[in-house]
Amino acid sequence: MDQLPTQMANHWRQRPGRRPGRQLYHWHMLFHDQPEVRRLAAEAQGKLAGLPGLDMIDEQWLHLTTFVVGFADEVPSASVEAMVAAARQTLAGVAPIPGSLGRVFYHPEAVVLPVEPLGALQPVLDAVAAATRSAGCGGRTGTDPWLPHISVAYSNGTGPAAPVIAALGHWLPRTEITIRSVSLVAQTQVGHSWQWQPVAEARLAGS
C-alpha cells in the first residue's frame, strides 16, 4: 500500500456472499474514546473535500479492521460466546498499546492512515485470530499481509489517483493514540458506508 497507485478503483464492488442486510462479524478497533483520531480524520477529509469519486467515512464509523470472522448467519451463538471469552482472557494480560498516526497511504480503493510502528498491534490480531479459530471459525485478515490502518475515504469509481495524492500528500500532523480494546461487531453495507452493531468488547487490561 506504500506504492502509489495510478488509478482509483471502486471500493463498493460486489463481494462474494454479500447481499443487502447480511451481517458479517468483524473484530474492529474503534475510536469513540479518542477524539484526536476523529480530528485527524476530519483534517484529512477537509483536504480531500470537493474531489469527485470519494466517499468520506463518518466519524462514528471510523475503525481499524483487525480480523474478519464470517457471516453472522453462519456462526452459531455458542461460537460467538466462546471466541469473546477467549479473546477477553488473552487480552486481559496485554497492556494498552501506544501508537501513532500521521503517514498517509494510498490504495486504489481507499485513502488510509496506517498505525505505526507497523508491528505494534500484532498481539491484538494474534489474540482475536486465535480466539476465533478456537471457537471453530476460520476467519481472515482484511489485507494480506495485515496492515493495521484507519480508512478516511473510499473510492466509489475509477479515475486518476494523482489529484487525490496531490490534495493530501504523504503526511498529516503526527498524532499519538492508544489501543485499549477491540470490539466484535456485526457489520453490513448501508449505501456507500460500512455500519455495524456492537456485539462485545475485549479490553487490553494488562499493566
State the pLDDT confidence band at 18, using cuts at 50, 70 and 90: confident
User: C-alpha grid cell for residue 117?
Assistant: 510502528
pTM score, whole prediction: 0.95
CATH number of this structure's domain 24-203 = 3.90.1140.10
**Distance (Å, whole) CA 159 – CA 84:** 41
State the pLDDT confidence band at 21, using cuts at 50, 70 and 90: confident
In this predicted model, what pLDDT tens digit does every residue of 121-134 receive, in sequence order? 999 999 999 999 99
pLDDT at 14: 83
**Distance (Å, whole) CA 163 – CA 126:** 37
**Chain-centroid distance, C-alpha 136:** 23
Edge-first strand listing for the sheet containing 181-189: 63-71, 24-30, 181-189, 194-203
Is the predicted pLDDT of residue 146 greater than 90, yes or no?
yes
Q: Rounded mean pLDDT of 167-180?
A: 98
In this predicted model, what pLDDT tens digit does every residue of 47-82 receive, in sequence order? 999 999 999 999 999 999 999 999 999 999 999 999
